[in-house]
Amino acid sequence: DAGITQSPRYKITETGRQVTLMCHQTWSHSYMFWYRQDLGHGLRLIYYSAAADITDKGEVPDGYVVSRSKTENFPLTLESATRSQTSVYFCASSDRLRNTGELFFGEGSRLTVL
C-alpha cells in the first residue's frame, strides 16, 4: 500500500543494545524526518534529511544515527540504547517541491528500553 510505514510498531529492548527503527515511504518525497514524542516535551526533531545522502541534526540528535542511501528509506539507529530513549518515535515525509508544508506521518514506533 502507498504511504509511509514504520517498523516495528512496538519494541522492547535492554540498555546497551542496538536498535534500528525503519521508515519507508512510497511517494518519493524528498524530505524525511524523525521525531520523538514524550509527555511534557511534545514532538522533538531528532534528524531530518533533504534528499538521499543528505542528513542533518535536529533538536535532540545525541545517541542516534541515521542514513538515507535511498530516497524511500530513512532508518533511525540507537547505537547503544538508554532508558531515556524510551519514547514514541514518528517518521514523517514531505514533498517540499510543492511547498504545501504538509508533513505525512507514520503511525509511530513505541520503544521501551529496560
Partner 1 sequence: SQELEQSPQSLIVQEGKNLTINCTSSKTLYGLYWYKQKYGEGLIFLMMLQKGGEEKSHEKITAKLDEKKQQSSLHITASQPSHAGIYLCGADGNNYGQNFVFGPGTRLSVLP
103 binds partner 1 (CB under 8 A): yes
CA distances from 43 to 1, 36, 58, 60, 87 (A): 26, 6, 11, 11, 10
Closer Cβ to partner 1, 15 or 87, answer by number? 87
Closer Cβ to partner 1, 69 or 97, answer by number? 97
Selection from 43, 114, 34, 37 nearest residue 82 by Cα: 114
CA distances from 80 to 70, 72, 85 (A): 24, 25, 10
* Shortest distance (Å) from residue 53 CB to partner 1: 15
Q: d(Cα 90, Cα 5) in Å, to the nearest integer?
A: 10
Closer Cβ to partner 1, 50 or 65, answer by number? 50
* Shortest distance (Å) from residue 107 CB to partner 1: 5
Q: d(Cα 97, Cα 25) in Å, to the nearest integer?
A: 16
**Residues from 65 through 94 that contact partner 1 (CB under 8 A):** 90, 92, 94
The set of cell numbers assigned to 102 is: 504538509
Among residues 78, 108, 111, 113, the one that binds partner 1 under rule CB under 8 A: 108
Contact set with partner 1 (CB under 8 A): 31, 33, 35, 40-43, 45, 48, 50, 56, 58-59, 90, 92, 94, 96, 99-108
